[in-house]
Amino acid sequence: MKTTDINLRQAVIYSLYVRNFSEEGTFKAVIPELDRIKALGTDIVWFLPFYPNGEVARKGTVGSPYAIKDYRSVDNHFGTLEDFEELVSEIHDRGMKVMIDIVYNHTSPDSILAQEHPEWFYHKPDGSFGNRVGDWSDIIDLDYEHRGLWDYQIETLKLWVNRGVDGFRCDVAPLIPLEFWKEARQKVEQVKSDVIWLSESIEPGFIKYMRSQGLTALSDSEIFQVFDMAYDYDVRGLWVDYLEGKIPLSAYIDRLNLQEVIFPANYIKLRNLENHDNRRAADLISDKDELLRWTAFNYLQKGAVLIYNGQERQALTIPSLFENDPINWSGEDISEYLTKMAHIKKMLPIQGDYQLVADDQNDLVIVTHKTDKQAIVVIISFKGKEVKVSLDLADGSYENVFNGEKVNIVNHELLISKEVIVLSITE
């Protein structure tokens, strides 16, 4: 039985892509930015893959970091292994943890494993290497029917833990057998007991398609048997549908509420408005005030929260995974806002009753985190509409933790408009 530290529900994870994080694109260039990253309230720095990537079937000029040639070394364009270990040490010195990307479904066609152990790979009917998902043309799939592959991959995880790594974000983890992940976690814990496991869980449609082909595609409920955290791809599609006017807010909010009863009691979802695979939030939501309100909602839900590098400057474009494409840092700086949200997030109860209520007519949500000693009530009008909200709270004057201003409840109603309201009530 896995042990998950549910304090991770308050965690802020900063996702960093070394190649495009700076003009230099090196490990050393990250170090001067660590104090700034820490000031955002960051607990964990997650590095996208930094391994040598393949040259055969390469996409773009420099190739995808997810088409990996060698799981056990670093791309020399980023620096040396010693440079990476220095970066890990600098992160630890600031009280943050290090998470790295693990890509165990596939390798580049010219990977070390493909050369040394071709039998560990999926082969097409004609005997050639291949992959099960057609548009991933720059990779070939591994085949976990082979015991030797399990041992190699687990030893690789232990190697990185011994280099100071504190956690793993596992790429398309649901495409790999659950029994492998169970054994991997068990054996890694013999080296370090508190390693953090994050699954890039997959969209419902992808699960359905893969299963229709007779292939492995783990549900979130299965993933949570091993992993501490999982992506919120089970609901992201509904969020985008709401933003595009296709469904009412309640269709999305009701699905969030369902997470409370279909997943284990210690489940942790990684809440994110954007990541390296999806549109920037500032591109998806053009109204800056609305974007900030959605940012607040992202933080004030139950679960860990992700900042994708550049989000703190409201970057509009996702850096290419296939080119040297440094982030444009010239956008509006919302770092102070993110720092404030991280501070409020750490006030939320780790455990207790959690409920979201949507008001479709007013595009409004009420989020309640409640224990026998405290209740935190969040009210957000996503469109900034001025409306009276009925609340099960005593009349009186309350401090809005969000901005320190006083708000008044009269006849159990509160007037809200553009400002996020966060009330902390001691029972």
Of the three residues 325, 346, 367, the one that is the final residue of a domain is 346
- Domain carrying residue 299: 6-346
pLDDT at 50 over 70: yes
Q: Taking the CB of residue 224, how many other CB atoms lie within 10 A of it?
A: 23
Q: What is the 3-state secondary structure (H, E, C) of the chain?
A: CCCCCHHHHHCEEEEECHHHHCCCCCCCCCHHHHHHHHHCCCCEEEECCCCCECCCCCCCCCCCCCCECCCCCCCCCCCCHHHHHHHHHHHHHCCCEEEEEECCCEECCCCHHHHHCHHHECECCCCCECCCCCCCCCCEEECCCCHHHHHHHHHHHHHHHHCCCCEEEECCHHHCCHHHHHHHHHHHHCCCCCCEEEECCCCHHHHHHHHHCCCCCCCHHHHCCCCCEEECHHHHHHHHHHHCCCCCHHHHHHHHHHHHHHCCCCCCEEECCCCCCCCCHHHHCCCHHHHHHHHHHHHHCCCEEEEECCHHHCCCCCCCCCCCCCCCCCCCCCHHHHHHHHHHHCCCCCCCEEEEEEECCCCEEEEEEECCCEEEEEEEECCCCCEEEECCCCCEEEECCCCCCEEEEECCEEEECCCCEEEEEEC
**Least confident window among 29-33, 133-137, 167-171, 298-302:** 133-137
Give the whole-number percent of the chain exceeding pLDDT 90.
97
Of the three residues 346, 374, 406, the one that is the final residue of a domain is 346
Answer yes or no: do 234 and 361 share one domain.
Answer: no
> Which amino acid, one-letter code, is at 254?
D
If you average pLDDT over residues 176-197, what whole number do you get?
A: 98
- Identify whether 277 is part of a domain: yes
148-172 burial, b if ≥16 CB within 10 A, otherwise e?
Answer: ebbebbbebbbebbeebbbbbbbbb
- Identify whether 268 is part of a domain: yes
pLDDT (tens digit per residue) in 255-292: 999 999 999 999 999 999 999 999 999 999 999 999 99
- 182 Cβ contact partners less than 8 Å away, ≥ 6 residues apart: 225, 226
Answer yes or no: do 178 and 91 share one domain.
Answer: yes
* Positive or negative: CA dihedral 272, 301, 227, 166: positive
Of the three residues 346, 365, 394, the one that is the final residue of a domain is 346
Say what the pLDDT of residue 136 is: 83
The answer to whether residues 238 and 204 touch, using CB atoms and an 8 Å cutoff, is: no
Binning pLDDT at 50, 70 and 90, where does residue 390 land?
very high
- Identify whether 184 is part of a domain: yes
Token pair in block for residue 175: 């495409």
The domain that contains 409 carries what CATH number? 2.60.40.1180
Answer yes or no: do 232 and 298 share one domain.
Answer: yes
Answer yes or no: do 260 and 364 share one domain.
Answer: no
Answer yes or no: do 96 and 198 share one domain.
Answer: yes
Answer yes or no: do 275 and 370 share one domain.
Answer: no
pLDDT (tens digit per residue) in 76-116: 999 999 999 999 999 999 999 999 999 999 999 999 999 99
- Identify whether 1 is part of a domain: no
If you average pLDDT over residues 207-230, what whole number do you get?
A: 96
Say what the pLDDT of residue 427 is: 73
Token pair in block for residue 425: 């009530």
For residues 320 and 323, what is the distance between their CA atoms, to the nearest angstrom? 6
If you average pLDDT over residues 18-39, what whole number do you get?
A: 98
Answer yes or no: do 341 and 365 share one domain.
Answer: no
- Identify whether 243 is part of a domain: yes
Tell me what the pLDDT averaged over the chain comes to: 97
Answer yes or no: do 364 and 334 share one domain.
Answer: no
Q: Which of 153, 159, 194, 161 is nearest to 177 (CA)?
A: 153
If you average pLDDT over residues 360-379, what whole number do you get?
A: 97
Answer yes or no: do 409 and 318 share one domain.
Answer: no
The domain that contains 93 carries what CATH number? 3.20.20.80
Into how many domains does the chain fold? 2
Answer yes or no: do 64 and 87 share one domain.
Answer: yes
Say what the pLDDT of residue 1 is: 57
- Identify whether 147 is part of a domain: yes
Determine if the pTM surpasses 0.95.
yes
pLDDT (tens digit per residue) in 139-148: 999 999 999 9
Residue 164, phi then psi, degrees to nearest 5: 105, 0
Answer yes or no: do 333 and 365 share one domain.
Answer: no
- Identify whether 352 is part of a domain: no
Residue 37, phi then psi, degrees to nearest 5: -65, -45
pLDDT (tens digit per residue) in 245-257: 999 999 999 999 9
Strands 396-399 and 421-426 come out as unpaired
Token pair in block for residue 46: 């997650």
Answer yes or no: do 417 and 314 share one domain.
Answer: no
- Identify whether 400 is part of a domain: yes
At which residue do the structure tokens 């992201």 appear?
A: 236
